[in-house]
Amino acid sequence: MVTEAKTKEGMKIPIGPIHPALEEPLHFTFTVDGERVIGVDFRLGYNHRGIEKLMESKDFNQCNYLAEHICGICSYTHSCCYVQNAEKIGNVEVPPRAQYIRTVIAEMERIHSHLLWAGIAGEEIGHKSLFMYAWKARELIMDSLEEVTGNRVNHGINRVGGVRYPIESGHVGHLVGRLTELYKRIDYLEKVFLKDPIIERRVAGVGVLTKDEARKLCAVGPTARASGVDIDVRRDDPYFAYGELDFDVILWDGGDVLGRTAVRILELKESVKIIEQALRQMPAGPYKNDDWKIPKGEAVSRTEAPRGEDFHYMRTGGSNKPTRYKIRTPTIANIPPTQAMFKEEQIADIPIIIASIDPCIGCMDRVSFIDERGTSRYVSFKELRMMKK
């Protein structure tokens, strides 16, 4: 619902938490001067599901599947963070073959996520046929995920110490064939998104986030790389088999919606390259290690999710359950930078700017504190302890 309220500074326009421009519940309050956005505030907390607390009531095997339900689009990357934490605390040796399999699935998930985003971006700018084409291309990788893991979304292939089952030789042939066809479709999407004059005029120069702003506001993933910030966990802190594979980190200098589009489209090609390398270099041998026990300890792990750095913290007390689990997803890091993107933009550009960070509210929300005036705010740990008392 959109309503208007005049103030001395301008017109206040609240958008959300339920609104056609938002796929999930999130509330923005825009201050506008005519059609120009001069300020923005946001409120979170409409989709808090209590997953962190729920982790404390599940055993280590159950927590793995719960981690996959943090997000419905990038479910696998959360499972990866979880098993890495458990493996660090338990000093579990993961077979090399399992690390390569994990790398393949992670990049397949990145492809499906970026193509899903490309379709939504097409819809947001009114290009319905582009939405259909991107999602048709996405079906190639979804079919492969279903064939390899048995599931299209929550794959359930990860486990502490490795993976539940290997990528069979029959799967490899089908996957390579689909990747070849997918690469052709990515080429077409690249031409449409990056060279079509209509799309360029629609998104070039819109929602600009400068390099300094991206660093100051701690943007991550394609949002940061589109502003020229050279960060990628896969290269900077290699996990799985990434340290043994050759790939490029895609950067862009514009910092606008076109740049965030370009980074994701070009990353699709890098993901195809990574998967093909991993399949060629995948070692033989076991794909799981059943000899593990999680002692008392704590660990952090991170992965490069499709939207950026995914960060998990786990503490254990020697029982068969975590005593504390903390998750920081990439969307929560990319929400503050949107405040810089919106300034001086047109009201009509609000939907595509929001979509350009590829937000996932379901995996982002933890808990929000609302003061007596009804505004959301950040609370320090010291202040939180005082509230508890």
Determine the average pLDDT of the residues in 87-103.
96
Maximum mean pLDDT: which of 95-109, 335-349, 369-383: 95-109
Q: Is the pLDDT reported for residue 84 higher than 70?
A: yes
Tell which CATH classification among 3.40.50, 1.10.10, 2.50.20, 3.30.390 matches the domain 5-47+332-388.
3.30.390
pLDDT digits (tens, 9 = 90+) for 252-271: 998 999 999 999 999 999 99
* Distance of alpha carbon 28 from the chain centroid: 21
Confidence of residue 2 (pLDDT cuts 50, 70, 90): very low
Confidence of residue 1 (pLDDT cuts 50, 70, 90): very low
Dihedrals phi, psi of 229, to nearest 5 degrees: -85, 115
Which residue did the predictor score with more confidence, 77 or 384? 77
Tokens of 213: 């702003």
pLDDT digits (tens, 9 = 90+) for 307-321: 999 999 999 998 999
Amino acid residing at 91: N
Confidence of residue 380 (pLDDT cuts 50, 70, 90): low
For a pLDDT cut of 90, what percent of the chain falls above it? 65
Beta bridge partners of 322: 316
CA distance 65 to 71: 11
Q: Is the pLDDT reported for residue 376 higher than 90?
A: no
CA distances from 145 to 104, 265, 268, 374, 383 (A): 10, 20, 16, 44, 45
Q: Is the pLDDT reported for residue 245 higher than 80?
A: yes
Q: In this predicted structure, what is the pLDDT of residue 381? A: 59
Tokens of 285: 């041998």
Determine the average pLDDT of the residues in 97-108.
97
Q: In this predicted structure, what is the pLDDT of residue 299? A: 96
CA distances from 153 to 75, 109, 332 (A): 7, 9, 22
Helix (H, G, I), strand (E, B) or coil at 49: coil
Tokens of 155: 């794959």
> What is the domain class of 51-330 according to CATH?
mainly alpha
Confidence of residue 205 (pLDDT cuts 50, 70, 90): very high
Residue identified by tokens 């700018």 is: 125
Q: In this predicted structure, what is the pLDDT of residue 360? A: 84
Q: In this predicted structure, what is the pLDDT of residue 235? A: 96
pLDDT digits (tens, 9 = 90+) for 120-146: 888 888 888 899 999 999 999 999 999
Q: Is the pLDDT reported for residue 228 higher than 50?
A: yes
Domain parsing of the chain, residue ranges: 5-47+332-388, 51-330
Do 5-47+332-388 and 51-330 show the same overall fold?
A: no
Q: Are strands 158-159 and 36-43 parallel, antiparallel or unpaired?
A: unpaired
Q: In this predicted structure, what is the pLDDT of residue 304? A: 97
Q: In this predicted structure, what is the pLDDT of residue 340? A: 92
Q: Is the pLDDT reported for residue 24 higher than 90?
A: no
Q: Are strands 297-305 and 162-163 parallel, antiparallel or unpaired?
A: unpaired
Tokens of 332: 């929560």
Which residue did the predictor score with more confidence, 51 or 248? 248
Q: Is the pLDDT reported for residue 4 higher than 80?
A: no
Determine the average pLDDT of the residues in 194-207.
91
Q: In this predicted structure, what is the pLDDT of residue 169? A: 86
Q: Is the pLDDT reported for residue 75 higher than 80?
A: yes
Determine the average pLDDT of the residues in 47-53.
82
